[in-house]
Amino acid sequence: MGFFDNLFKKKNDSSSSELITEIPQSWSILSGKNNGNPMFVRKNVACDKIAGNKNYSTNCGIAFKMLSPNSNGLPDIENEPELDNLEDDIFDFLESDLNSIVPITITTSGFREFVIYTKDLVEFNLRLEKLKMKYPKYELTTYSKIDLNWNTYKSFK
């Protein structure tokens, strides 16, 4: 393999540590079942271009129980209008300066979970605390783990 081949390979290697200056956007909806209940997954498939970026190697999640899901365990916005505001703020608080990327949202069985990749876990946790203070009705829970290759993201096909 020649010098230029190596340059080309590195440029297109999704596991690079190339600086991300914007989050690509192209959302798809996947559906399935979870414990007999409908499950909807919104996946930003444009993140295929950046999946595995070494700067975002920590996979985090924010999950919570919806306050008024319908009988299928899906959101009932008429009875829970604050849900849309919470979701908007999750994206705004976390992605505004590219500290984190939210490529997947899962809704099922009366719960919603946001799959997130962050470059600064301390900053992620500070922002999560602000969300918790702004939305005290919701019990926002979280997890974090190293996921260098974005395996969680890639598992949703």
Q: Minimal CA–CA distance to 13: which of 45, 58, 55, 50?
A: 50
In the three-class reduction of DSSP (H, G, I as helix; E, B as strand; rest coil), residue 33 is classed as: strand
Q: Which of 37, 34, 40 is nearest to 106 (CA)?
A: 40
What is the rounded average pLDDT for all residues in the chain? 90
- Hey, what are 151's tokens? 């395996």
Structure tokens, 24: 């690509």
> What is the distance in angstroms between the CA of the first residue and the CA of the last residue of the chain?
33
Q: Is-contact 35 76, C-beta < 8 A?
A: no
| DSSP E strand stretches across the chain | 27-34, 37-44, 58-65, 100-108, 111-118, 141-146
pLDDT tens for each residue of 82-112? 999 999 999 999 999 999 999 999 999 999 9
Burial of 145 (0-12, 13-18, 19+ CB in 10 A): exposed
Q: What is the pLDDT of residues 5-42, one digit of tens each?
A: 444 433 444 457 788 999 999 999 999 999 899 999 99
Residue labelled with tokens 């129980």: 65
Given a cut of 50, whether residue 63 has pLDDT beyond it is yes
pLDDT in the model for residue 15: 57
Confirm if 150 and 118 have CB atoms less than 8 A apart: no
CA distance 54 to 66: 33
Residue with tokens 């009932």: 76
Q: In whole angstroms, what is the distance from residue 49 CA to residue 66 CA?
A: 32
Compute φ and ψ for 100, nearest 5 degrees.
-140, 160
